[in-house]
């Protein structure tokens, strides 16, 4: 008699996450994405700034959003290669879901802006882990064109809001998690009263 497979622990889930941009349907539904993004709001947040904002782009709004991306790319660099435009247009219109990671920063706060940005990064990582835990996949990409006024206006960003990138979201087309990682012993050190050295830096 075969025994039921063991449920992976929370740590097993964290240790098996990997990014993938080979993503198909389904994307998380309304309830699922609300729960997954709630994991983002579990990020540490010095001073209760609450700097996380998530814009969900899905379904029929993807194509129009992709055109805003192209418009911003051209505003940033009119000479941008056609190949780069085609790739981004395709990804933003075909990924099952995209989440724009907005950093709602408070420059007046005594909490350094860098800490506020780190909180948004920590939130994004929680979202990637939550996606993985729920059987979905994600891939964090940069938003080098996002400072363009046309793009900021299209998203309704205020003066103190900036993007930390985008998460592409969907169901992995093949299993993830097998990618090789460095050995932790090269990246950790135990302090023994002397300056530390990391194997990774030798």
Ligand X SMILES: Cc1cc2nc3c(=O)[nH]c(=O)nc-3n(C[C@H](O)[C@H](O)[C@H](O)COP(=O)(O)O)c2cc1C
Q: How far is the CB of 128 from ligand X (least distance, A)?
A: 8
Is residue 100 within 8 Å of residue 129, measured between CB atoms?
Answer: no
Q: CB nearer to ligand X: give 17 or 31.
A: 17
Which CA distances in Å does 176 have to 19, 96, 109, 199? 7, 17, 40, 28
How would DSSP label each residue in 55-68? Answer: EEEETTHHHHHHHH
Q: CB nearer to ligand X: give 59 or 175.
A: 175
Q: CB nearer to ligand X: give 48 or 174.
A: 174
Q: CB nearer to ligand X: give 90 or 179.
A: 179
Q: How far is the CB of 73 from ligand X (least distance, A)?
A: 13
The residues with which 110 forms a beta bridge, in sequence order, are none
Distance separating the N- and C-terminal Cα atoms of the chain: 51
| Binding positions for ligand X, rule: CB under 6 A | 18-19, 139-142, 165, 179
Report the distance separating Cα 58 and Cα 55, nearest Å: 10
Q: What is the DSSP letter of 163?
A: E
Q: How far is the CB of 111 from ligand X (least distance, A)?
A: 21
Q: How far is the CB of 18 from ligand X (least distance, A)?
A: 4
């Amino acid at each position: 008699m075969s025994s039921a497979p063991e449920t992976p622990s929370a740590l097993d889930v964290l240790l098996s996450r990997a990014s993938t941009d080979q993503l198909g349907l389904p994307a998380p539904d309304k309830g699922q994405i609300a729960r997954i993004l709630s994991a983002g709001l579990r990020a540490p947040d010095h001073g209760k700034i609450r700097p996380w904002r998530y814009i969900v782009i899905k379904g029929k709004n993807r194509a129009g959003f992709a055109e805003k991306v192209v418009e911003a790319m051209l505003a940033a660099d009119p000479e941008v290669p056609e190949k780069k435009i085609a790739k981004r247009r395709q990804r933003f219109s075909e990924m099952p879901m995209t989440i724009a990671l907005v950093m709602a920063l408070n420059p007046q706060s005594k909490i350094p802006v860098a800490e506020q940005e780190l909180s948004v990064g920590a939130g994004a990582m929680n979202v990637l882990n939550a996606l993985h835990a729920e059987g979905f996949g994600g891939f964090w990409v940069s938003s080098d064109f996002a400072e363009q006024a046309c793009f900021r206006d299209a998203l309704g960003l205020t003066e103190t809001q900036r993007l930390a990138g985008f998460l592409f979201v969907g169901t992995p087309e093949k299993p993830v998690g097998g990618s090789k990682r460095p050995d932790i012993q090269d990246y950790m050190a135990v302090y023994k009263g002397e300056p530390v050295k990391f194997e990774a830096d030798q």
